């Protein structure tokens, strides 16, 4: 290139799944039938009424102009009603909710609004890689905190407080946790809010998985004192099967929301009105709709557990969310080589845990976003390759 890119681009790498999907695409072009169990992109449809609302508004000539940066009042109210019903949280739709084009966008907006170059950001390990990449782009300093199986994938707050926190500005948490599937709880959130308050740290909970295989809903904002020190992101991507629609929100104190809006209003021109109106309808889905979606995931989860068993992985059956997280056998030397072998031999793509941090290096993650038929086929393929390997060992070939 004749023109040198900005220094900040050197601090981030291409997203793992971007590279992996390119590899899978090449393999498919060469004739391989790949079953992808890597990405959590829901394959079920939104509710019929959601789609009908989209169509209804899309055919209206007045629907196609620029929209407000803060979302239409009906969408903000729908988010407010949703939080009241399921999370027991009262939010003022006028100034405590900001609709977003997906919560991933919100991670960037929050970071740019609050993180100065040199500020430290506490990021879970394992955790969503975007927390780290966005911190780098904002000029912040990544400071990982450990989440491990032994402590139930909860932060060790006592250990954190023994360290120097004077430069820490923001802390990312994510409960229900991805990738471990650990639920949030009142007790956990109380400890985290108290920690953030004592140390003047903005606590941000990324909360898109509450409705998947879970009916014990918790919001960080239901915790006493959270409004002064916390924000929460949510999304319709997983909970309402609307990943490609790009609809999310951030909620919190009006002062924090105002600062985020300063950033957001300079980066987009509002969501397409029919999409917002469809989201309003989705947020009013009856409880029976969530139950019907989860009925499918329950069946799929059983098959994914069987895949984990075939791979001799250990896993916690109490996990919630869109994935199953399992520890690989001790005799496997490299998780990366392990999943690459499964991809090349069985033509099944499984996510290696190392992409979520060092504490994920001995784990794999399998998505529930495939039909039962595909999951069963993946299981059979993996079983076939396992039998082949055992036969070759008996013959002394490997």
205 and 137 inside one domain: yes
The CATH number covering residue 252 comes to 3.40.640.10
> Which pLDDT does position 393 carry in this prediction?
59
**Which stretch of 18-27, 250-259, 276-285 has the lowest confidence by average pLDDT?**
18-27
Provide the β-strand partners of residue 326. 315, 364
Q: Let me know whether 267 and 346 are in one domain.
A: no
As given in the structure block, the two tokens for residue 266 are 């300079």
76, 33: one domain: no
Residue 55 located in a structural domain: no
Q: Residue 397 above 80 pLDDT?
A: no
pLDDT digits (tens, 9 = 90+) for 335-383: 999 999 999 999 999 999 999 999 999 999 999 999 999 999 999 999 9
pLDDT at 106 over 80: yes
How far, in Å, CA of 259 to CA of 257, rounded? 5
pLDDT average, residue stretch 254-281: 96
What pLDDT score was predicted for residue 394?
A: 57
Do 93 and 14 share a structural domain?
Answer: no
Query: What is residue 32's predicted lDDT score, i.e. its pLDDT?
Result: 93
Is 276 a residue whose pLDDT tops 70? yes
- Residue 237 reports pLDDT greater than 80: yes
52 inside domain: no
Tokens (6 digits) for 293: 């979606």
Has residue 50 been placed in a domain? no
The torsion angle over the Cα atoms of residues 121, 125, 131 and 132, rounded to 10 degrees, is 80
pLDDT above 80: residue 12:
no
Q: Where does a domain end: 267, 282, 297?
A: 282
Q: Considering the domain boundaries, does residue 60 fall inside one?
A: no
Task: Locate 184 and state its tokens.
Answer: 């949030």
Residue at a domain's end among 282, 315, 334: 282
Using CB atoms within 10 Å of the CB of residue 182, give its burial: 0 to 12 exposed, 13 to 18 middle, 19+ buried: buried
Domain edge (last residue) among 282, 311, 326: 282
Q: What confidence score (pLDDT) does residue 264 get?
A: 96
Same domain? 202 vs 149: yes
Residues 162 and 274 in one domain: yes
Question: Does one domain contain both 316 and 179?
Answer: no
Mean pLDDT over 190-208 rounds to 98
In terms of domains, do 116 and 179 share one? Answer: yes
Is a pLDDT exceeding 70 seen at residue 390?
A: no
Strands (E), the chain: 35-37, 97-100, 120-125, 141-146, 168-173, 202-206, 230-235, 248-252, 314-315, 323-327, 348-352, 363-367
What's the mean pLDDT when you consider all of the chain?
95
Q: Which carries the bigger pLDDT value, residue 268 or residue 164?
A: 164
- Show the domain range for 323: 7-45+287-394
CA–CA distance, 198 with 225 (Å, rounded to integer):
11
Q: In this predicted structure, what is the pLDDT of residue 395?
A: 59
Is residue 57 in some structural domain?
no
pLDDT at 9 > cutoff 90: no
pLDDT at 6: 86
Which H or E run contains 395? none
pLDDT at residue 159, as a whole number = 97
Model pLDDT, residue 10: 80
Higher-confidence residue: 15 or 21? 21
For residue 133, being part of any structural domain is answered with yes
| Residue 324, beta-bridge partner list | 366
In a domain, 58, yes or no: no
Residue 35 maps to which CATH number? 3.90.1150.10
270 Cα distance to chain centroid = 23
- 86 plus 211 within the same structural domain: yes
Same-domain status, 260 and 244: yes
Instruction: For residue range 118-151, list pLDDT tens digits in order.
Output: 999 999 999 999 999 999 999 999 999 999 999 9
Q: Is 121 left (phi over 0), alpha (psi -120 to 50) or beta?
A: beta
Same domain for 378 and 240?
no
Determine contact, residues 315/153, Cβ cutoff 8 Å: no
Query: What's phi and psi for 386, nearest 5 deg?
Result: -65, -45
Assigned domain for 56 exists: no
Decide: pTM greater than 0.75: yes
Q: How many domains does the chain have?
A: 2
Check residue 391 and give its pLDDT. 61
Residue 36 CB partners (closer than 8 Å, separation 6+): 24, 349, 367, 370
* Whether 83 and 195 share a structural domain: yes
């Amino acid at each position: 290139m004749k023109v040198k890119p900005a220094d900040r681009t050197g601090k981030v790498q291409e997203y793992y799944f971007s590279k992996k999907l390119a590899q899978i695409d090449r393999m498919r072009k060469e004739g391989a039938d790949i079953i992808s169990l890597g990405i959590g992109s829901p394959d079920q449809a939104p509710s019929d009424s959601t789609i009908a609302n989209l169509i209804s508004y899309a055919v209206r000539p007045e629907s196609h102009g620029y929209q407000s940066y803060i979302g239409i009042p009906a969408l903000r109210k729908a988010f407010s009603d949703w939080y009241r019903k399921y999370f027991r949280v009262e939010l003022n739709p006028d100034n405590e909710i900001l609709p977003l084009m997906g919560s991933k966008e919100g991670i960037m907006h929050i970071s740019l609004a609050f993180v100065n170059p040199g500020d430290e950001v506490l990021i879970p390990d394992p955790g969503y890689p975007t927390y780290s990449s966005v911190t780098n782009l904002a000029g912040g300093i990544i400071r990982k905190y450990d989440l491990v199986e032994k402590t139930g994938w909860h932060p060790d707050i006592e250990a954190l407080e023994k360290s120097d926190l004077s430069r820490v500005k923001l802390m990312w948490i994510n409960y229900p946790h991805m990738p471990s599937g650990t639920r949030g709880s009142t007790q956990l959130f109380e400890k985290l809010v108290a920690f953030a308050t004592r140390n003047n740290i903005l606590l941000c909970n990324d909360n898109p998985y509450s409705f998947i295989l879970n009916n014990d809903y918790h919001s960080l904002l239901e915790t006493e004192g959270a409004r002064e020190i916390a924000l929460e992101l949510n999304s319709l991507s997983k909970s309402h099967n609307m990943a490609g629609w790009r609809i999310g929100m951030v909620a919190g104190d009006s002062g924090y929301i105002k600062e985020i809006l300063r950033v957001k209003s300079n980066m987009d021109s509002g969501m397409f009105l029919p999409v917002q109106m469809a989201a309003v309808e989705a947020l009013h889905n009856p409880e029976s709709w969530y139950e019907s979606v989860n009925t499918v995931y329950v069946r799929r989860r059983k098959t994914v557990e069987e895949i984990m068993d075939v791979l001799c992985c250990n896993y916690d059956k109490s996990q919630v969310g869109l994935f199953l997280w399992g520890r690989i056998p001790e005799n496997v030397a490299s998780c990366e080589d392990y999943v690459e072998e499964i991809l090349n031999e069985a033509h099944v793509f499984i996510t290696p845990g190392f992409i979520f941090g060092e504490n994920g290096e001995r784990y794999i993650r399998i998505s529930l976003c495939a039909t039962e038929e595909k999951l069963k086929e993946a299981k059979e393929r993996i079983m076939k390759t396992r039998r082949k390997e055992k036969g070759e060992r008996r013959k002394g070939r490997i």
